[in-house]
Structure 1
């Protein structure tokens, strides 16, 4: 069982940002991720929020061992050509420590920030359509020296990406998906699959109902892998916490029980948010650090 964290990009680099990423490495987290949004929900909407890829580049120079990544990037405001160039650069700067968490995107602020006045955001179907073209093109851009593609939604004309990624054949993809189309993309292109649980359960369900929902998601993922000719064991299963009815950061014992339960379901990486006072991610930072150090030992 791997234990990772999400560090939201809310601190100025010289005023606690650098130290937080270094501390994540000191605590032994497997990966430190950050959200890739232009802004996020309340109470973060009107506060500091920095860019994901520059933040990860700075984190790469401030650390030496911990893996780094997005959780998650989406087509809402990204283009495969420019994203590929930035990922190759980031992978180089980090010495091959980058994981790209990626999904179809949601309906929040990122979905409207680039739209003209009166222009509606993409529907869920349209987001899935964009993602279905975005991810295969990004895969090519990260593995081929030169790519030309003229699709329905994205184009690339002789896009050069030499020398390619440090990691071969490319940076790993952790694909966030719960629907059938997204799961097919995870089976075809992913090295990991990401879930936050079932939002319908999170709104008013129980911890047991949440576990049942994730168990069902994993069952459907395995069926999808079988149809795509992919060994499900090749795909890591990542649970991003904070969006289920559980309270895993209440104590070390609570977390170990939580993680052990999900390990039995087939989850092999759990991601916890670095505590932020006054938000949905509020938690005792001393307990958080105790979990970071002690939980992997108890779960070994």
Structure 2
């Protein structure tokens, strides 16, 4: 099992570079950031762009994998996103992972003046977005006409450092998203129950993830893939569970999800006076001691 972190893009770089370097020093497998224009309770505070932040982080670190968790079609187009991704993959020396999802109804869902998409439209757009992005990142030139997204001789030379392209970690819980994860994903991402932390008691939260993994396995079987080929990533912070209160709490939580088949846990870097407020010393002890206690 691997342990990674999410570092929100809220820091001016004079401070932010220290956080990303510290994540590498602590031994995290990867550090991700949210790909939003703003986000929930952070809407009225500092919030920087994800791709420039990750590019700077790539220059400030040497081994730490970097990624989005997650990018969505809400304000992205596959053609321009592909160009940014091959650039970031090059700058990072092949350390980029693309977390990608269908998006939701957050603040940036309408920031470009569009009306909020229905769940069906989000699924349909995502169903076009992922295959086109896959094609753009694996071919020198791409032409494709879609209902929502098209490309006309879009060039991406020299392509990704990683072959055949940067890995896709697909966030999905519904049948369409799971089908995309099974077809295009090198990893799958869940944050637990999709409804919200108040809807599922703590003791039932692992069961929700277990059911999701069963559905992922079925989607992989239908696609002719072994579900074991995919990394299975759990993003902490959207359930009522409190694994960052102590090292022991983390070990119990991590052990439960390891038994279910989760292969990577992602915990939020503490942000004081926010929903991600946790003791930094405890967090760092979890990073250095937590997984070691499971072995």
**TM-score tier (shorter):** over 0.9
| CA-to-aligned-CA distance 1:54-111 (integer Å, 9 cap, x gap) | 0000000000000000000000000000000000000000000000000000101111
Shift of 1:25: 0.2
- Partners of 1:115 and 1:121 within 8 A in 2: no
Structure 1 equivalent of residue 189 of structure 2: 194
Structure 2 gaps of 5+ residues are: none
Q: Tell me the SS of whatever aligns to 1:199.
A: coil
Alignment of 1:69-84 (within 5 A): 69-84=67-82
CA 1:201–1:50 in structure 2 vs 1: closer, same or farther (change >3 Å)? closer
State the superposition RMSD in angstroms: 0.8
Q: Which residue of 2 aligns with 1:161?
A: 156
Runs (5+) with no aligned partner, structure 1: none
Q: Which residue of 1 aligns with 2:127?
A: 132
Structure 1 residue aligned with 2:208, among 197, 209, 213?
Answer: 213
1:113 pairs with 2:108: no
Q: CA deviation at 1:201?
A: 5.8
- Over 3 Å counting, the alpha-carbon distance change for 1:148 and 1:10 in structure 2 is same
**What is residue 4 of structure 2 aligned with on the other side?**
4
- Which has the larger displacement, 203-212 or 282-291? 203-212
Give the TM-score normalised by the residue count of structure 2: 0.99
1:267 aligns with 2:234: no
What is the alpha-carbon distance in structure 1 between the residues aligned to residue 257 and residue 6 of structure 2? 19
2:90 equivalent in structure 1: 92
For 2:246 and 2:190, how far apart are their aligned partners in 1?
23
Deviation at 1:278, TM superposition (A): 1.1
For residue 205 of structure 1, report the CA deviation from its aligned partner: 2.4
Alpha-carbon deviations, 1:146-186, whole Å to 9, x = none?
A: 00011111111101101110000000000000000000000
**Residues of 1 paired with 2:261 and 2:239: CA distance?**
17
